[in-house]
Amino acid sequence: MQRLRGKRVVVTGAANGIGRAIALRLTEEGARVVLADVDEEAAGAVAAGIGESGGEAVAQKTDVTRNGDVEALVRRAVSEWGGLDVMVNNAGVGVAGTAVTTTQEEYERVMDVCVRGTFLGMKHAIPAVAASGGGSVINMSSVAALVGIVDRAVYSAAKGAILAMTRASAIDHVGEGVRVNCIAPGTVDTPWVARITSGYDDPEGARANMQARQPHGRFVTPEEIAAMAAYLASDESASVIGACMIVDGGVTAR
Ligand SMILES: NC(=O)c1ccc[n+]([C@@H]2O[C@H](COP(=O)([O-])OP(=O)(O)OC[C@H]3O[C@@H](n4cnc5c(N)ncnc54)[C@H](O)[C@@H]3O)[C@@H](O)[C@H]2O)c1
């Protein structure tokens, strides 16, 4: 399927997990992708793998919390390919904790990467997408924005902010032909899950609990989130604007 042929895309947090799966899927469907990540080496390895499979990708070291990095990232896509059609603001970090147990440093880190990172991604990408004739911005929220999840107070706040900013920006920019949407994944099996569970006394038990809370009894796969991102990136979703696309194995249906 080549429904993204010709699309010029940036994916943040593309070295691992969901971002990596999105970069692979979008290039398989014909898009050209800039893979942005703080981990330059891993992003470069993913881009090289895409190149070996016949896809088009380049990597750019980017810290999404830094205004200059994000500005340079968008400029790279425009200089590389002459424009930008799709921006995927996927980079994010989480922390396990309640409002009582989370430290101020953890609060600042999670809000910085998730909220400031998404804000800067939209700030610099939306004008470039509009100047390219319109396109799609995809932000990564979470089911944590929609239902109460134990031990995720600050992460939920960050993902709720992304959902609210998505809706507001969808209304602000619909007239410029820029569609802004977000995805709310359930628990997806990525390196992030291993990091979260390693903080518990019984990491294996914590992992089993994370699977059990999904009504379909398993983790969502990164590829299932990538399939939703491919739809939102494509012109098939032309009337999907300001939406929160839930891919959660039934968590929010309970
Ligand atoms: N895994 C899940 O269960 C799950 C569920 C819902 C939402 N999400 C969201 O999906 C997104 C991706 O999560 P994942 O599970 O693939 O995580 P991951 O940790 O596996 O990958 C995240 C990537 O982002 C990069 N990154 C971190 N900080 C960055 C920064 N400041 N600038 C640029 N890149 C940075 C990391 O290097 C890494 O490559 C996150 O926004 C996360 O909150 C994940």
155: annotated active-site residue: yes
Find out whether the beta carbon of 211 lies less than 6 Å from any atom of ligand 1: no
Structure token pair of residue 60 = 């750019």
Tell me if 207 is assigned to some domain. Answer: no
Residue linked to tokens 């205004």: 67
One of 107, 155, 200, 231 is an active-site residue; which one? 155
pLDDT at position 210 is 85
Q: Domain for residue 77, yes or no?
A: yes
- Is position 142 within any domain? yes
Would you say the CB of residue 121 lies under 6 angstroms from ligand 1?
no
Q: Is the CB of 60 under 6 A from ligand 1?
A: no
Q: Is 227 close to ligand 1, i.e. is its CB under 6 Å away? A: no
CA of 26 to the centre of ligand 1 (A): 18
The predicted structure's pLDDT at residue 194? 85
Q: For ligand 1, what atom is nearest to the CA of residue 69?
A: 32
What does the pLDDT read at residue 99? 98
- Residue 26 sits in a domain of what CATH number? 3.40.50.720
Rounded to the nearest angstrom, the distance between the alpha carbon of 87 and the centre of ligand 1 is: 15
For residue 144, give the nearest of 210, 202, 66 by alpha carbon: 210
At residue 87, the pLDDT reads 99
Overall number of domains in the chain: 1
Q: What is the mean pLDDT of the chain?
A: 96
Look at residue 114 and tell me if it is in a domain. Answer: yes
The CA angle 113-245-254, to the nearest 5 degrees, is 105
Specify the ligand 1 atom closest to the Cα of 21. Answer: 16
Question: What is the reported pTM?
Answer: 0.98
Q: Which atom of ligand 1 is nearest to the CA of 42?
A: 39
Residue 200 lies in a domain: no
The one-letter amino acid at 191 = P
Give, using CA atoms, the residue closest to atom 2 of ligand 1. Answer: 188
Could you tell me which of 58, 57, 55, 8 has the C-alpha nearest to residue 28? 55
How much distance in Å is there from the Cα of 91 to the middle of ligand 1? 5
- pLDDT of the residue at 193: 87
Enumerate residue ranges in the chain where pLDDT < 50. Answer: none
Look up residue 82 and give its two tokens: 């002459």
Q: How far apart are CA 158 and CA 6, in angstroms?
A: 33
Q: Is 70 within a domain?
A: yes
Contacts of 99 by beta carbon, 8 Å cutoff, 6+ apart? 153, 154
Range of the domain at 84: 8-190+222-243
Integer Cα distance of 186 and 36 in angstroms: 23
Look at residue 24 and tell me if it is in a domain: yes
State how far the alpha carbon of 254 is from the alpha carbons of 65, 148, 182, in Å: 35, 12, 21
* Residue 1 belongs to a domain: no
| Contact 69 CB / ligand 1 (< 6 Å) | no
pLDDT at 121: 99
Length of the chain: 254
Helix (H) or strand (E) holding 216: none
